[in-house]
Amino acid sequence: MKPSSLDKILGRIDDLDSVNLSILVQRLARERKLQETVFNTIQDGILVIDAEGTVQYANEAACGLIGLKPQEVGQMRLWKMVPDLARSIDSAAVDASRAAKPLLTREIELSYPEHRFVRLYMVPLDVPVGQAVAGGYVIVLTDVTEEKVSIEEMIESERTGSIVRLAAGVAHELGNPLNSLTIHLQLMERRLAKLEASEESGQLGESIEVCRGEVQRLDGIISHFLEAVRPQKPELNELDLVAIVEEVLRVQELELANRKLAVGVEVSKAVPTILGDRGQLKQVFFNVIKNAMEAMGPDGRFQIVASSDVDFVYLKFSDTGSGIRESDLSRVFQPYFTTKSTGHGLGMMIVNRIMREHGGQVGIESREGQGTVITLQFPQQHRRSRLLEDN
C-alpha cells in the first residue's frame, strides 16, 4: 500500500527540531480546518462510525438529518439514535462483503428530528476508526424527501386525472338517460293534462312530480361530484379563514349537537387574511370537520386552533376519535381509500388537491384509538406573491 502523506510525516517526526515541528503542526491544523470546511459545505450527510456503531465523525448535514449534537460525536451510538437504520442494514451481508468493499444502498424513513426520506450509502473501512482496532464504516446520507414527495404528487395527479376522466364518462353515460327521462316525464305531464280530472290522475300527477324531483336531484349529485373531483383554478380573494370555519360550523351545528360533540375554536393571536377561493376552502373545512365528527363517539371533543408565523397561517383540527392506523396514514390522500363503511374515499383527496392549488399543505398526525390532528398550512399574501413570481 502506498504510504500517505501523514505516514511520511510521522516517519520523519523524530528528525524534526522544535521550529520545524511547530510549522508541521500548524500545517496539519490548516489542512484539518480545510477538510472540516469542505465536508461541512457538502449537502449530503457524512458519518464515520466504528465497528460498535459509535459515531466518530459527522458533518453538519448529518447532524441535522439525524438530530445528532456535536458534543455527542464520539459517544453516541448511531443505532440508538436511528433504530430504523440499524434494522435496515444486514450486518452479516456487510461482514461477508467487507473484502470486496461493495456499496450498500438503502432508502429509509426518518421521523426525528423531522419526517424525512433518506437514501443511505455505506462503505466498510479497513483502517482503525476511533479507539477501536477493527475497521468501521463511512455512511453517506442523501435527503430525498423532495424527490419522494414530487414522485408521490405526480402519481396522485395521474390518479386524480384518471378519476376525472372516469367521472366525466360516467356523468355522460348517466346524463343521456336522465335527459331521456326528463323528456318523457314532460310528455306524460302533457298527456295527463288532457285527461279528465280524477283521483287517479291526481295521484299519477304527484308520482310524476316525485320522479321529476328525483331526476333533478340525481343530476345535481352528478354535477356536484364533477365539480368536486375536476381540478378548478381557484378564484382568489382576500379571506378571513377563521370566519369561514365558523360559518361552516354553524351549518354543521345541528349535527354536532345531535352527536353530543363539544367544539372549541381558539385563535392564538390576530390571524392575517389570505388569498383563496371561498367556495373551495369551505369544502375543505366541511370535509375535515365531517371526517372528525364521524370518527368520534358521543362526548367527543373537537378543537380548532388558528395561528400564524411570518410566512404562513395554520389551522389545526384535533379530534378525540378512533384515529388512523400508522400503516394507513400514507394512503389517506389516495382516491377511494376510506376507513368508514359508508365513505366514498374522495374527501381527503379533494382536500389535498384544493390545498395544493392554494399553495398550501396538509399535515396529518394520528394514533389509533387516540385521535387525529390535521394541520392546514396556508401561505400568507406576501409569501404567495413570491411563489407566483418564482413560477
CATH number, domain containing residue 115: 3.30.450.20
Per-residue model confidence (pLDDT) at position 15: 62
Which of 183, 203, 229 delimits the end of a domain? 229
Query: What DSSP designation does 196 have?
Result: P
Q: What is the H or E stretch that residue 379 is in?
A: strand 371-379
**Both 254 and 385 in a single domain?**
yes
Residue 31 within any structural domain of the chain: no
**Both 318 and 304 in a single domain?**
yes
Residue pair 296/337 in contact (Cβ under 8 Å)? The answer is no
Domain count, the chain: 3
Average pLDDT of span 297-316: 91
Distance CA 212, CA 215 (A): 5
Q: DSSP letter string over 98-164?
A: TTT---EEEEEEE-SSS-EEEEEEEEEEEEE-TT-SSEEEEEEEEE-HHHHHHHHHHHHHHHHHHHH
**Both 257 and 323 in a single domain?**
yes
**Both 71 and 46 in a single domain?**
yes
For residue 292, the domain's CATH number is: 3.30.565.10
For residue 381, give the C-alpha cell.
399574501
Average pLDDT of span 195-217: 83
- In the chain, % of residues over pLDDT 90: 21
Q: With cut-offs at 50, 70 and 90, classify the pLDDT of residue 234.
A: confident
- Quote the mean pLDDT of the chain: 81
Which of 110, 126, 143 delimits the end of a domain? 143
Torsion of CA 196, 201, 202, 205, to 10 degrees: -120
Which of 174, 197, 229 delimits the end of a domain? 229
Q: With cut-offs at 50, 70 and 90, classify the pLDDT of residue 387.
A: very low
Residue 17 within any structural domain of the chain: no
Checking if the pLDDT of 83 tops 90, the result is: no
For residue 226, give the C-alpha cell.
364533477
**Both 197 and 57 in a single domain?**
no
Domain hosting 112: range is 42-143
Average pLDDT of span 81-97: 62
Checking if the pLDDT of 12 tops 70, the result is: no
**Both 259 and 348 in a single domain?**
yes
